[in-house]
Structure 1
Amino acid sequence: MQNTYNVSGIRKLFPAAKSVVYLDSGLQSPMPRPVKVALDRYNKEAYENAGPKLIWLNRTEQARNKLARFINASPDEIAFTKNTSEALNIAANALPLKRGDNVLLIHGDHPNNAYAFLNLRRKGIDVRVIPMTEIINSESFLSEIDENTRAISMSHVTFHAGHKFDIEDIGRLCREKNIYFIVDIMQSIGVVPIDVQKIGATFLCSGTHKGLFVPQGLGFLWWDKKRQELEPTYLAAASVEHPSEDFIANSNNMAPAKTARRFEIGNYNLAAIQALDAAIDLINKIGVNNIESYYYMLGDRLIERLDCLGISLVGPRSRQHRAPHIYVLQLQPKEWLEYLSSQQIRCSPERDGIRISFGLFNNELDLDKLLEAISHQMKR
């Protein structure tokens, strides 16, 4: 298998890859050395001089700019959040929905996508679901759309089986029907190219602890700034257009910022944002297209070997419809998870099997160790 980047060199940046066969980046990525360096610098500055706050805020805007370029967006369309779930809740509550309107979701999608909208039922919003199938595109939603459909919310890539849905096609449908479109890109950012101009969403929501290598506690929201009618349900000094210099609240000064800052509330997770800055540099050095191609090659190899062992894949097999990095093996978690852990192989239990999810550092030797362990146990 021909690599699309120097995997052995990148592997040296992830010390955790030396101690365990880590096949669980869909849960949380191990920390690479550049991210640790950024966090160490932040901690040193905080410890030794209580923190250069202005410098930290400048770095925050630097990271915002890098993230914007990474997804082909404008920096003023990005708000920092705590995680994907907070971003989804911000999006759900910003929509100007009224009693009798309906929102379409996918059955079995991430629960935190569903809960953000199910919570709107208390306001009289109808939440409907379409079936989860291997292929989800505009046709999947078309028959469920009526005159009261105001929004579609869904994941780009599913966490539990690695479906990759056609969000660009669905985005076109939403534009045609004037429907708000919210997309959870937690499992796809850093793994496949994300271009907000092509997706045509209203909001994109994500955390940063999987494909972006940052410790948990940081997420972001991308907002289509042409949608100025979408306002936050809460307000803070940080989110108004003209923050008061004397820090005295004024009921005549409550207009939300014209930028995505309207969705931010209070202080930033400054340490994690600086870690994100370093992580984006690392990904850009490799190239997200190269990352995607490499994961697909690893996945092809994995599927080929699974076929030889007679082990089924839970999710889609074709590159067109599968995520490059997530593969769920139809093996009972109760029987297999403890065994694989005893072999120093880290993976996750999912609804219908054992989830294998790749990181930048995984190589064919990792696959060999996984499949040899499975083969050995099957022969017992």
Structure 2
Amino acid sequence: MGSDCDSSFPSAWLDVIQTDPWDWWRSQMPITEKFAYFDHAAVGPLSQGAFDAMSNFLDQASRLGDTVWPTWAARNEKLRRDAAKLLNCAPREICLVPNTSTGINIVAEGWPWQAGDSVVIPDGEFPSNLFPWMNQQSRGVDVRIVPRHEGEVRIGDLMEAADQSTRMIAVSWVGYASGFRLDIADLVARAHQRGIMVFLDAIQGLGMFPLDLERVPVDFLAADGHKWLLGPEGAGIAMIRGEHLSKIRVGNVGWGSVKNSYNYNEPKLELRDEAARFEAGSANMVGLGGLSASLEMFLAVRQCHGDQAIGDRVVSLATRLDGLLRDLGVQTSLAADPENRSGIVNFSVAGAEPAAIRSRGLEQDVVLSCRGSGVRASIHAYNNEDDLQRLVAVVRSFC
């Protein structure tokens, strides 16, 4: 993407985004009127764009019914194209899903496993990227769990656990508790060199950090839109690389899976040639419309300031918070290498229970989570110095 704003975005956005994208983004987040919100790794607040799109859908659905259904369907296709633009892949490789778990299960359940095959997973994965693979043990698949090192996933350890039986390495881009960001390019290169595919649970990284699937050919990917992408729950995307489409069995087949979806009188089970073959039935129109509107913000900032801008901003804020907390004598777990950092900072205060810190934060309109053995602050691009200082004030009260 270039550095000049594209006229396809709303004209009211462009001048402001070019001048100060982060203040502009903050103006699109109603949550900032009250809260210093640091819980994006759990459930992100809706952007104003998502709220408006969903409100508009409800208004149309109540007053106009399905007379505007083609407009809703077109919005879904725009989301598909925008998701493909975000990932630099083909729209035909994008599947619209209700959640990350669905995207993972499409592959875990659909892959033609043979008894004795194996899949490698890091320890400490969120259950969404564990249970679908464990469920294949009944088909004779060996699930190999590789230990982390103080939250860090070491690619060498993953590769050492793999052998000739390994068909898949399934990893999270960013650890949900530690915030450790994996070098996906290195993993994919080393896995593919040995004929092993890579599944990426991207929910904690998508939108925050660039991923060029033409340059880094991840085989499969899934992410819900309700965290960092600032959309509603129940709306997400999956990516199935085109060369693998025919390898994945479509286990959930419906009218939306086939080529002539609207030929109800003479239905034929001829699967679509796109990842949309996994979209069996009616879509979550209201949710996907909200996600589509929210995703436009990410693309606009990237178009104006480059693909790295959002990630650089988030890592800068996380590093700043890490320093402020360390100045208080607080123990943090931010990765030593900035390339492995994300928007997540996990910390603990000696003698203070994580739940007590979270509760006091809520009393002061500072929103945090308890994850792992500490408190998790998950920082977005629209957060600012004032937000950080409000969080630090909460922590200082325990020091």
Calculate the TM-score normalised by the size of structure 1.
0.93
The answer to whether the aligner puts 1:235 opposite 2:250 as a matched pair is: no
- Aligned partners of 2:38, 2:115: CA distance in 1, in Å? 45
The CA deviation string for residues 221-250 of structure 1, in whole angstroms up to 9 with x for no partner, is 10111112222223222113444713555x
The answer to whether the aligner puts 1:264 opposite 2:285 as a matched pair is: no
- Aligned partners of 2:203, 2:259: CA distance in 1, in Å? 29
**Which residue type is aligned with residue 162 of structure 1?**
G
1:365 — aligned with what?
Answer: 386
Q: Tell me if structure 1 keeps the 8 A contact 2:122–2:153.
A: no
Where 1:105 maps in the other structure, the secondary structure is strand
Superposed CA RMSD in Å reads: 1.8
Match of residue 210, structure 2, among 188, 193, 201 = 193
Q: Tell me if structure 2 keeps the 8 A contact 1:314–1:330.
A: no
Where 1:328 maps in the other structure, the secondary structure is strand
Number of residue equivalences: 372
- Aligned partners of 1:20, 1:82: CA distance in 2, in Å? 28
- Aligned partners of 2:127, 2:74: CA distance in 1, in Å? 35
2:3 — aligned with what?
Answer: none
Q: How does 1:267-286 map to 2 (within 5 A)?
A: 267-286=282-301
1:354 — aligned with what?
Answer: 375
Give the C-alpha shift of residue 257 in structure 1.
2.0
Give the C-alpha shift of residue 15 in structure 1.
1.6
Where 1:355 maps in the other structure, the secondary structure is strand
- Aligned partners of 2:270, 2:344: CA distance in 1, in Å? 43
Q: Tell me if structure 2 keeps the 8 A contact 1:137–1:167.
A: no
Q: Tell me if structure 2 keeps the 8 A contact 1:4–1:294.
A: no
The answer to whether the aligner puts 1:294 opposite 2:313 as a matched pair is: yes
Q: Tell me if structure 1 keeps the 8 A contact 2:148–2:154.
A: no
**Which residue type is aligned with residue 248 of structure 2?**
L
Q: Tell me if structure 2 keeps the 8 A contact 1:4–1:290.
A: no
Q: Which runs of 5+ in 2 are unaligned?
A: 1-17
2:340 — aligned with what?
Answer: 321
Where 1:183 maps in the other structure, the secondary structure is strand
Q: Tell me if structure 1 keeps the 8 A contact 2:173–2:202.
A: yes
1:19 — aligned with what?
Answer: 34
Q: Tell me if structure 1 keeps the 8 A contact 2:322–2:334.
A: no
Q: Tell me if structure 1 keeps the 8 A contact 2:172–2:202.
A: yes
Q: Tell me if structure 1 keeps the 8 A contact 2:236–2:288.
A: no
Where 1:246 maps in the other structure, the secondary structure is coil
1:90 — aligned with what?
Answer: 106
2:183 — aligned with what?
Answer: 166
Q: Tell me if structure 2 keeps the 8 A contact 1:137–1:169.
A: no
- Aligned partners of 1:343, 1:335: CA distance in 2, in Å? 13
Q: How does 1:1-380 map to 2 (within 5 A)?
A: 5-51=20-66, 52-133=68-149, 134-227=151-244, 228-243=246-261, 245-247=263-265, 253-287=268-302, 288-323=307-342, 325-331=343-349, 332-378=353-399
Q: Tell me if structure 2 keeps the 8 A contact 1:137–1:170.
A: no
Q: Tell me if structure 2 keeps the 8 A contact 1:5–1:290.
A: no
Give the C-alpha shift of residue 376 in structure 1.
2.6
Change (3 A) 1:91 1:5: farther
Give the C-alpha shift of residue 135 in structure 1.
4.3
Where 1:172 maps in the other structure, the secondary structure is helix
Where 2:176 maps in the other structure, the secondary structure is coil
Q: Tell me if structure 1 keeps the 8 A contact 2:315–2:341.
A: no
Q: Which runs of 5+ in 1 are unaligned?
A: none
- Aligned partners of 1:81, 1:285: CA distance in 2, in Å? 23
- Aligned partners of 1:122, 1:39: CA distance in 2, in Å? 41
- Aligned partners of 2:364, 2:50: CA distance in 1, in Å? 28
Q: Tell me if structure 2 keeps the 8 A contact 1:4–1:293.
A: no
Give the C-alpha shift of residue 369 in structure 1.
1.2
Aligned-pair identity in percent equals 24
The CA deviation string for residues 265-293 of structure 1, in whole angstroms up to 9 with x for no partner, is 10111112222221121112222522211
**Which residue type is aligned with residue 247 of structure 2?**
E
- Aligned partners of 1:247, 1:374: CA distance in 2, in Å? 65
- Aligned partners of 1:225, 1:164: CA distance in 2, in Å? 26
**Which residue type is aligned with residue 346 of structure 2?**
V
Give the C-alpha shift of residue 72 in structure 1.
0.3
Where 2:243 maps in the other structure, the secondary structure is coil
- Aligned partners of 1:193, 1:264: CA distance in 2, in Å? 26
Where 2:42 maps in the other structure, the secondary structure is coil
**Which residue type is aligned with residue 326 of structure 1?**
I
